């Protein structure tokens, strides 16, 4: 079956990307270039500035031919004075993309590009008014609140994904993979929020502030990335600059918001020949020591020490295929998940994957409906994966053995197999297959699916998806499925999306994350966008009309009434300087599914009666959001929700008040203080009594001594209080029927939990690290008073790992 699928994927012939040289540039706002050296005639579409070819994106001169310098050696010191930079290709003529597209960039930018046989070199000269550049000595990947420049390299020229190498003005790195399918709704497609920053690559950078902006140098070894096989390369190329002073993102290759695809509008880097990766073999042996403490039933603390040896291996089988393997992987550097308050208490919360082995190459496993969710592999003993691309087909294969204690019987090791294939069709269309298998002895869960995305005329698309599951366990064998169809249009001023999705009652995935089944949902979204005049007090204004209806799976087939309906109008504004404000009124109706309450009973004296859910209810609410610009020392966000809502435990109506606030303080260029406050309160409409209250404050302190050395402290408290359940009609207590048929009162539930962690990290490069950390879990289950917190568990760990990279030779030094 697998061989047949691969053959089907290879039927379509590769499609060459269209495009030709643009007219030469006739002007630039950038300052004059450095002194020139003798060079051959400028390539087609470029102009000659002394000894350098200049490519002005604003004039569509976006086909770059970078010079090859065989013997050049430079010092990565944030100074573009070496002769090699005077021979580089020059990328300039940036235009704005977000929040308004198509305007000449306010600040000038020059990007210099050349390559040696084993690496690509990039120099950035970004001009800005004196004293306006936002720059901190941040932790890796945490430069989103600074000014930054990002290089996008689409090394397979498939116009769908790209390696991203971003730096702030001090050369602090953020890197990852950008995929067209991974952009969060409502986020800028050019921003770092659209990049999977959990992936780390090995490259070098150095930056410095100057009186009128900043200068950055980058060296990207070909050994650290994957690219297509062949003597001569053609890569997609885009450069994005974020300026916090104005709140604008600019791109080198002109990019229209009307086009559905961001990567498809990039330029090209052409003519690179005979790139040398050498032997691509990275070995990372790891040693970790733990001291763990737990409070036993008698209330005493017991400690145990253990050691763990493990390691990771990365082998570049070819320039386009990579094999990763791990044994006893250590994830001690992953910080605790941020506490969440569920919007709908009936369903599980999603937490992103942060563990290094699983995030590297994770774009190869992107699948609709989160059919691949590697956090289901809880404590892997060993794992391996193969990722890469053959002409027009992405391949991802992962296999893992989980610890026996994660199985249902506690003795059998679960085995996971995940396969993802995706075929490029035409310029932007795709078709894909996904298969997942979790086997635990004679029990298993298997999921197989097909998905396609067909794009037309740059702004229209149609998506079709079909998935099936088979599950065999002690309860028997079950089969279920997912089907989905959607169509949409993007446009600069108007767009829409219509979708219909159904998930059958018995669908199940134990390798993915589908937290709700037994429903059919129809949705229609429409967007209208307007742009402010240049220099005005606002830049962008959007209205999103959101309508949806949800049925149970059987009711939809019987053409019954929807269980839930919702209408909302999101009014969003981007104001001059980077302020963002949105106000969203919403109306919804909800009917409670009686099947969800079959285990409820109402007890009145000696009588016991079945619980009857409340009838259909209607609600009106208001949501608001404010985000400040990223000032030099401060940035903040605030989300507020007010109105009435459904309460699904009692099937009553509640008044809801919610708040989600975040503040990022930067007192110095080395110190960051991040605070998050999440609060939610439900009070019963019928009598004003408190039904539930949840409160989650979090504090994150980080001091960056150098780019490689930092200290981090995180503290978090989760306070949750829910009243005893009562029948909304009579006020009688609600009881629940247990698995053995006995009744138990659904009484008040209170909890107060805390978490404190600190970490000292020395990370000169991904793979070579020294970590020392401590974490403690606290609980006050009886009184729920912070003064009576008790440690329930804690642990101290030290981790040492070292990256050995075969065949490394330095072509640049860092000062």
On the question of pLDDT at 572 being above 60, the answer is yes
Over the stretch 141-193, which tens digit does the pLDDT of each residue have? 999 999 999 999 999 999 988 999 999 999 999 999 998 765 655 678 899 98
427 phi/psi in degrees, rounded to 5:
-80, -40
Over the stretch 90-104, which tens digit does the pLDDT of each residue have? 999 999 999 999 999
Contacts of 284 (CB under 8 A, 6+ apart): 311, 312, 313, 767, 801, 802, 803, 804
Cα 740 to chain centroid, rounded: 43
Name the helix (H) or strand (E) containing 2: helix 2-9
Closest CA to 386 of 319, 321, 328, 433: 321
Closest CA to 699 of 335, 352, 170: 335
Over the stretch 282-294, which tens digit does the pLDDT of each residue have? 999 999 888 988 8
Tokens 């890569």 correspond to 235
Closest CA to 56 of 103, 85, 32, 90: 90
- Three-state secondary structure along 546-559? EEEEEECHHHHHCC
Round to whole Å and give the CA distance between 151 and 267: 12
Over the stretch 461-484, which tens digit does the pLDDT of each residue have? 999 999 999 999 999 999 999 999
Which one-letter DSSP state was computed for residue 182? Answer: G
Across 91-105, 180-194, 212-226, 407-421, least confident range: 180-194
Over the stretch 38-76, which tens digit does the pLDDT of each residue have? 344 456 566 766 678 999 999 999 999 999 998 888 899
Do the Cβ atoms of 480 and 508 come closer than 8 Å? yes
Tokens (6 digits) for 529: 């966008």
Closest CA to 126 of 27, 211, 195, 61: 211
Do the Cβ atoms of 714 and 708 come closer than 8 Å? no
Contacts of 692 (CB under 8 A, 6+ apart): 680, 681, 682, 720, 721, 722, 723
> For 322-329, what is the mean pLDDT?
90
Across 33-37, 111-115, 569-573, 720-724, least confident range: 33-37
Measured from the Cβ of residue 553, the count of other Cβ atoms closer than 10 Å reads 17
pTM assigned to the model: 0.83
- Say how many residues make up the chain: 815
On the question of pLDDT at 241 being above 80, the answer is yes
Do the Cβ atoms of 239 and 205 come closer than 8 Å? no
Over the stretch 388-399, which tens digit does the pLDDT of each residue have? 998 889 999 999
Task: Give the CA radius of gyration of the chain.
Answer: 28
Round to whole Å and give the CA distance between 523 and 501: 9
On the question of pLDDT at 348 being above 70, the answer is no
> For 536-553, what is the mean pLDDT?
95
Share of the chain above pLDDT 90, in %: 65
Round to whole Å and give the CA distance between 244 and 787: 42
Round to whole Å and give the CA distance between 121 and 113: 6
Q: What Cα–Cα distance (Å) separates residue 5 from each residue in 421, 449, 512, 722, 807?
A: 9, 12, 22, 51, 37
Round to whole Å and give the CA distance between 163 and 276: 18
pLDDT: which is higher, 333 or 742: 742
Tokens 């989980």 correspond to 402
Closest CA to 145 of 663, 706, 698: 663
Provide the pLDDT for residue 42. 53
> For 438-446, what is the mean pLDDT?
95
Question: What DSSP string describes 666-728?
Answer: -SSSSEEEEEEEEEEEEEETTT--EEEEEEEEEEEEEEESSSSEEEEEEEEEEEEEEPPPB-T
Round to whole Å and give the CA distance between 177 and 196: 5
Which one-letter DSSP state was computed for residue 102? Answer: S
Across 328-337, 355-364, 434-443, least confident range: 328-337
- For 414: left if phi > 0, alpha if psi spans -120 to 50, otherwise beta; the answer is beta
Which one-letter DSSP state was computed for residue 593? Answer: -
Round to whole Å and give the CA distance between 451 and 368: 8
Confidence of residue 17 (pLDDT cuts 50, 70, 90): very low
> For 668-697, what is the mean pLDDT?
94
The dihedral formed by the CA atoms of 423, 372, 497 and 617, expressed in degrees to the nearest 10: 160
Give me the residues paired with residue 654 across strands.
645, 684
Do the Cβ atoms of 230 and 74 come closer than 8 Å? no
Measured from the Cβ of residue 481, the count of other Cβ atoms closer than 10 Å reads 15
Contacts of 275 (CB under 8 A, 6+ apart): 115, 117, 118, 222, 227, 233, 319
Round to whole Å and give the CA distance between 106 and 99: 13
Share of the chain above pLDDT 70, in %: 89
Question: What DSSP string describes 420-488?
Answer: EEEEEETTTEEEEEEEEEEEETTEEEEEEEEEEEEEETTTEEEEEEEEEEEEEETTEEEEEEEEEEEEE
Round to whole Å and give the CA distance between 187 and 700: 24
Provide the pLDDT for residue 11. 34
Round to whole Å and give the CA distance between 185 and 165: 23
Measured from the Cβ of residue 303, the count of other Cβ atoms closer than 10 Å reads 11
Confidence of residue 703 (pLDDT cuts 50, 70, 90): very high
Confidence of residue 14 (pLDDT cuts 50, 70, 90): very low
Closest CA to 623 of 579, 572, 662, 696: 572
Domain boundaries, the chain: 45-276
Do the Cβ atoms of 640 and 659 come closer than 8 Å? yes
Confidence of residue 30 (pLDDT cuts 50, 70, 90): very low
Round to whole Å and give the CA distance between 421 and 432: 5
Provide the pLDDT for residue 344. 58
> For 676-699, what is the mean pLDDT?
94
Do the Cβ atoms of 509 and 516 come closer than 8 Å? no
Across 32-41, 460-469, 694-703, least confident range: 32-41
Over the stretch 610-650, which tens digit does the pLDDT of each residue have? 999 999 999 999 999 999 999 999 999 999 999 999 999 99
List alpha helices for 315-387, DSSP H: 356-359
Confidence of residue 1 (pLDDT cuts 50, 70, 90): very low
- Three-state secondary structure along 646-672? EECCCCEEEEEEEEEEEEEECCCCCEE
Over the stretch 244-302, which tens digit does the pLDDT of each residue have? 999 999 999 999 988 888 999 999 999 999 999 888 999 999 998 889 888 877 777 78
Provide the pLDDT for residue 306. 86
Provide the pLDDT for residue 340. 58
Contacts of 444 (CB under 8 A, 6+ apart): 437, 438, 470, 471, 472
User: Long-range contacts: 45-54, Cβ < 8 Å, 24+?
Assistant: 45/20, 45/21, 46/89, 49/90, 51/86, 51/87, 52/86, 52/87, 52/88, 52/89, 52/90, 53/89, 53/90, 54/25, 54/28, 54/89, 54/90, 54/92
Across 97-111, 199-213, 603-617, least confident range: 603-617
Confidence of residue 335 (pLDDT cuts 50, 70, 90): low
In CATH, 45-276 is 3.40.50.10330? no
The dihedral formed by the CA atoms of 79, 83, 85 and 87, expressed in degrees to the nearest 10: 170
The dihedral formed by the CA atoms of 327, 328, 331 and 337, expressed in degrees to the nearest 10: 110
Over the stretch 642-667, which tens digit does the pLDDT of each residue have? 999 999 999 999 999 999 999 999 99
Do the Cβ atoms of 330 and 799 come closer than 8 Å? yes
Contacts of 451 (CB under 8 A, 6+ apart): 367, 368, 431, 432, 434, 463, 464, 465, 466
Provide the pLDDT for residue 815. 32
- For 596: left if phi > 0, alpha if psi spans -120 to 50, otherwise beta; the answer is alpha
> For 530-554, what is the mean pLDDT?
94
pLDDT: which is higher, 605 or 649: 649
| Strand stretches in 510-649, DSSP E | 519-531, 538-551, 564-575, 580-590, 600-604, 607-610, 617-627, 634-647
Tokens (6 digits) for 411: 């003795």
Average pLDDT, the chain: 87
Over the stretch 751-808, which tens digit does the pLDDT of each residue have? 898 999 999 999 888 888 898 999 998 888 666 676 677 888 888 989 899 999 886 6
Measured from the Cβ of residue 214, the count of other Cβ atoms closer than 10 Å reads 23
Provide the pLDDT for residue 788. 74
Provide the pLDDT for residue 331. 63
Tokens (6 digits) for 222: 């070909």
Closest CA to 173 of 634, 708, 633: 708
Tokens (6 digits) for 728: 């909304």
Tokens (6 digits) for 133: 């550049």
Provide the pLDDT for residue 566. 97
Q: Per the omega criterion (within 30 degrees of 0), is the bond before 435 cis?
A: no
Tokens (6 digits) for 59: 């004039």
């Amino acid at each position: 079956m697998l061989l047949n699928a691969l053959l089907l994927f290879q039927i379509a012939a590769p499609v060459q990307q269209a495009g030709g040289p643009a007219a030469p540039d006739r002007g630039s706002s950038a300052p004059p270039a450095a002194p020139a050296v003798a060079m051959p005639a400028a390539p087609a579409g470029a102009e000659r500035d002394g000894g350098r070819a200049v490519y002005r994106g604003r004039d569509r001169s976006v086909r770059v031919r970078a010079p090859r310098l065989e013997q050049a050696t430079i010092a990565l010191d944030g100074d573009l004075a070496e002769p090699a930079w005077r021979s580089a290709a020059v990328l300039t003529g940036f235009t704005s993309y977000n929040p308004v597209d198509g305007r000449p960039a306010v600040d000038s930018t020059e990007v210099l590009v050349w390559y040696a046989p084993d690496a690509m070199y990039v120099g950035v000269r970004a001009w800005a008014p004196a004293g306006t550049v936002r720059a901190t000595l941040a932790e890796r990947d945490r430069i989103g609140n600074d000014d930054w420049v990002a290089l996008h390299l689409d090394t397979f020229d498939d116009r769908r994904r790209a390696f991203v190498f971003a730096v702030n003005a001090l050369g602090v790195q953020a890197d990852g993979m950008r995929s067209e399918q991974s952009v969060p709704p409502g986020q800028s497609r050019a921003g770092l929020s659209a990049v999977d920053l959990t992936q780390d690559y090995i490259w070098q950078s150095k930056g410095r502030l100057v009186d009128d902006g900043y200068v950055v140098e980058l060296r990207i070894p070909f050994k650290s990335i994957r690219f297509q096989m062949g003597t001569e390369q053609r890569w997609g190329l885009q450069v994005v600059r974020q300026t916090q002073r104005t709140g604008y993102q600019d791109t080198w290759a002109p990019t229209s918001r009307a086009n559905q695809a961001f990567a498809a509008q990039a330029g090209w880097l052409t003519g690179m020949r005979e790139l040398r990766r050498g032997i691509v073999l990275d070995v990372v042996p790891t040693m970790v020591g733990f001291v763990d403490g737990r409070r036993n039933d008698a209330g005493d603390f017991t400690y145990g020490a253990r050691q763990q040896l493990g390691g990771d291996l990365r082998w570049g089988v070819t320039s386009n295929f990579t094999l990763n393997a791990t044994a006893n992987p250590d994830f001690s550097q992953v910080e605790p998940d941020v506490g969440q308050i569920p919007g709908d208490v009936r369903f599980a919360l999603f937490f992103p994957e942060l563990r290094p082995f699983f995030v590297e190459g994770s774009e190869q496993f992107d699948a609709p409906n989160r059919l691949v969710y590697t956090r289901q592999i809880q404590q892997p003993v060993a794992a391996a994966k193969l990722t890469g691309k053959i002409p027009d087909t992405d391949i991802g294969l992962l296999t893992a053995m989980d610890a026996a204690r994660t199985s249902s019987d506690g003795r059998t090791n679960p085995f996971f197999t995940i396969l993802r294939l995706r075929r490029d069709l035409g310029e932007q269309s795709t078709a894909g297959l996904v298969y997942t298998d979790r086997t635990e002895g004679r029990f298993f869960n298997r999921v197989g699916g097909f998905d396609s995305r067909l794009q037309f005329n740059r702004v229209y698309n149609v998506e079709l998806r079909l998935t099936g599951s088979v599950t065999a366990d002690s309860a028997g064998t079950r089969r279920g499925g997912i089907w989905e169809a959607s169509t949409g249009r993007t446009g600069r001023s108007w767009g829409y999306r219509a979708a219909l999705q159904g998930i059958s009652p018995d669908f199940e995935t134990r390798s993915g994350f589908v937290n709700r089944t037994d429903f059919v949902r129809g949705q229609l979204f429409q967007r209208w966008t307007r742009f402010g005049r240049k220099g005005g007090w606002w830049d962008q204004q959007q209205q999103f009309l959101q309508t949806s209806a949800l049925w149970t799976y059987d009711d939809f087939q019987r053409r019954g009434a929807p269980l839930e309906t919702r209408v909302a109008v999101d009014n969003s504004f981007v104001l001059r300087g980077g302020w963002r404000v949105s106000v969203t009124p919403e109306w919804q109706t909800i009917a409670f599914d009686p099947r969800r309450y079959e285990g409820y009973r109402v007890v009145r004296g000696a009588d016991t009666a079945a619980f009857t859910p409340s009838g259909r209810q209607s609600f009106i609410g208001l949501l608001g959001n404010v985000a400040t610009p990223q000032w030099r020392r401060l940035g903040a966000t605030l989300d507020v929700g007010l109105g009435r809502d459904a309460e699904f435990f009692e099937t009553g109506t509640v008044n809801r008040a919610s708040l989600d606030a975040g503040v990022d303080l930067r007192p110095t260029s080395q110190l960051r203080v991040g605070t998050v406050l999440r609060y939610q309160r439900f009070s019963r409409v019928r009598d004003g009594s408190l039904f539930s209250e949840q409160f989650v404050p979090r504090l994150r302190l980080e001091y960056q001594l150098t780019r490689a050395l930092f200290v981090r402290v995180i503290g978090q408290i989760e306070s949750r209080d829910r009243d005893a359940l009562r029948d909304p009609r009579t006020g009688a207590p609600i009881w629940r029927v247990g698995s053995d048929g006995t009744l138990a009162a659904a009484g008040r539930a209170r909890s107060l939990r805390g978490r404190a962690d600190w970490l000292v990290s020395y990370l000169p490069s991904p793979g070579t690290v020294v970590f020392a950390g401590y974490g403690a879990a606290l609980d006050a289950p009886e009184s729920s008073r912070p003064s009576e917190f008790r440690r329930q568990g804690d642990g101290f760990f030290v981790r040492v790992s070292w990256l050995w990279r075969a065949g490394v030779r330095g072509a640049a030094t860092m000062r």
